[in-house]
Amino acid sequence: MRWPNSKLGRFVVNSIVVWSMLWMYMFINHNQAPPSNTVVMPSWVPFWPAFFPIYLAMMLVTWFLPVAICDAGRFRACVRANVCAWLLVMPWWILSPTMMPRPALPEGVWAYVFDCVWTVDLPYNVRPCAHGIGPVVAAWFFVQERPRWRWFLAGVLGLGLSSIALVWQHRPIDILLGTIAAGIGIAVGATLSRSEEIKFRNFRELAA
């Protein structure tokens, strides 16, 4: 099957995938089955509210960066990798629910920001972390087309993944587990895409 390869088509497909994932995350987050396993942020991780815009921007990377992938097969591989990685982490929020106590609200304007965020996103679904999966997957497939962007995106990912811990949404170990899931998803997505391309090529040769 050849997916639509216009920017609008890629945007629609990726939006359906991304917002479906977010909806499912929120559904599990607000319907957590007690008791939860309580985990604690390591003492060496500071709470730096100023990193919240970077943390939020990671969601935009997941949503928009795949749209910039021009090759149809590579875009399919990206979407499949994202879905595969997400399906690897999602069951653990149900099978082994976790919660992490959050710090006191910061002072100033950040108090209003985090009060709103923590009301919407309850302190559950801590392990593993899915927040970094989309950016890692999207960046991987994007740089296959535009290698000159690799170091810039590596820096963006380093800063973005760090921000997840620095705003106390997930622990470093949770972020690592999510990144490993992203790596598995990338391998699966790329393999499925290559297999599909080979079958399509063989079909065209037979039909010629």
Residue 1 is assigned to a structural domain of this protein: no
Residue 2 is assigned to a structural domain of this protein: no
| Phi/psi at 189 (5° precision) | -60, -45
Residue 33 is assigned to a structural domain of this protein: no
What is the Cα–Cα distance from 124 to 150, expressed in whole angstroms? Answer: 33
- How many domains does the chain fold into? 1
List per-block mean pLDDT (blocks of 10 residues) for the chain, which spans 208 residues: 77 96 97 86 97 97 96 93 97 94 93 95 96 98 96 97 98 98 97 78 61
**pTM summary value:** 0.92
For the chain, how far is it from start to end, CA to CA, in angstroms? 18
Residue written as tokens 């990144």? 179
What is the Cα–Cα distance from 88 to 136, expressed in whole angstroms? Answer: 15
Nearest partner of 127 among 180, 53, 55, judged by Cα: 180
Residue 20 is assigned to a structural domain of this protein: yes
Identify the pLDDT of residue 206. Answer: 65
| Phi/psi at 31 (5° precision) | -130, 40
Give the bridge partners for 38, in sequence order: 99
Question: What Rg value do the Cα atoms of the chain yield, rounded?
Answer: 19
By the 8 A CB rule, do 137 and 74 touch?
Answer: no
pLDDT digits (tens, 9 = 90+) for 36-79: 799 999 999 999 999 999 999 999 999 999 999 999 899 999 99
Identify the pLDDT of residue 201. Answer: 64
Residue 135 is assigned to a structural domain of this protein: yes
H/E stretch holding 37: strand 37-38
Residue 36 is assigned to a structural domain of this protein: no
Q: Which domain holds residue 173?
A: 7-25+43-207
Tokens representing 26?
Answer: 């929120």
Count of alpha carbons within 13 angstroms of residue 93, beta-carbon side: 26
